[in-house]
Chain A
Amino acid sequence: MSEERRIICTACPVGCFMIAKEENGHVVSISGNSCPRGEEYAKIEMTDPRRVFASTVRVEGGALPVCPVRSKEPVPKDKIFEITKAVAHVTVKAPVEIRQVIIKNVCDTGVDIVASRSLPTKQSVELVSQGG
Chain B
Amino acid sequence: MSDIIVDVAVIGAGPAGIAAGVGAKEAGAEKVAIFERDWDLGGILQQCIHPGFGLHAFGEELTGPEYVHRWISKAREAGVEFWTNSMVFHMEENGSFWIMNPSLGIKKVVAKSLVLAMGCRERPLGALGIPGTRPAGIYTAGTAQRLVNMEGYMPGNRVVILGSGDVGLIMARRMIWEGAEVLGVYEIMPWPGGLRRNIAQCLDDYGIPFYLEETVIEVHGKDRLEGVTVAKVDKNRNPIVGTEKFLGCDTLLLAVGLIPENELSRMANVEINPVTQGPIVNELLQTTKPNIFAAGNVVIVYDLVDWVSMEGERAGRNAALFAAGKFKPGEKKIKVSGGDNVRLYSPQWLSGQSDATIYMRVTQPIEKSCKVVVEPGLYEKRLRYARPGEMNEAHVKLQDLQALGDVDEIVVDIKEV
Contact = CB atoms under 8 A, between A and B. Distances in A.
B102 A65 contact: no
Interface string B61-78: 101011001000000000
Interface stretch (A5-13, A19-27, A101-109): A5-13
B204 interface: yes
A100 to B, nearest CB: 13
Contacts of B149: 56, 66, 68
Given A15-B197, A52-B61, A116-B65, A130 B51 contact: no
B411 interface: no
A29 interface: no
Contacts of A128: 39, 84-85
A117 interface: yes
B14 to A, nearest CB: 15
A53 B51 CA distance: 8
Nearest to B202: A10
B51 A70 contact: yes
A66 B152 contact: yes
A66 B154 CA distance: 12
A98 B104 CA distance: 31
Contact of B201 (A10, A65, A81, A117): A10
A93 interface: no
A92 to B, nearest CB: 13
Nearest to A117: B65
B69 A65 contact: no
Interface size class of A (residues with CB under 8 A): 35 or more
Nearest to B306: A13
A129 B195 contact: no
B52, B197, B204, B303: most-surrounded residue (chain A CB, <10 A): B197
Contacts of B102: 129-131
Nearest to B40: A63
Given A56-B49, A66-B152, A70-B49, A15 B205 contact: no
A58 interface: yes
B195 A13 contact: yes
Determine the interface band of chain B, counting residues with CB < 8 A from chain A: 35 or more
B197 A13 contact: yes
A54 B51 contact: yes
B396 interface: no
B170 to A, nearest CB: 10
B200 A10 contact: yes
A125 B104 contact: no
A51 B196 CA distance: 16
Contacts, number: 96
Interface string A63-74: 111101010000
Contact of A64 (B55, B104, B151, B200): B151
Nearest to A70: B63
Given A10-B200, A116-B49, A128-B84, A63 B177 contact: no
Contacts of B204: 8
B404 interface: no
Given A8-B196, A77-B205, A129 B103 contact: yes
A9 B132 CA distance: 40
Contacts of B151: 64-66
A121 interface: no
Interface string A10-51: 101111010000000000000000100000000000000001
A130 B61 CA distance: 37
A28 B199 CA distance: 26
A68 to B, nearest CB: 4
Nearest to A55: B177
A9 B197 contact: yes
A117 B71 CA distance: 13
A15 B195 contact: yes
Contacts of B201: 10, 51
B152 A129 contact: no
Contacts of A55: 49, 177-178
Contacts of B103: 129-131
Contacts of B63: 54, 68, 70, 116
21 contacts: A7-B200, A8-B196, A8-B197, A9-B197, A13-B52, A13-B303, A13-B304, A15-B195, A15-B196, A52-B61, A55-B49, A56-B149, A65-B152, A66-B149, A66-B151, A68-B65, A80-B177, A98-B65, A117-B46, A129-B103, A130-B102
5 nearest CB pairs, A to B = A131-B103, A15-B196, A117-B65, A8-B200, A68-B49
Given A10-B200, A13-B304, A34-B384, 4 more contacts: A54-B51, A55-B49, A58-B152, A64-B152
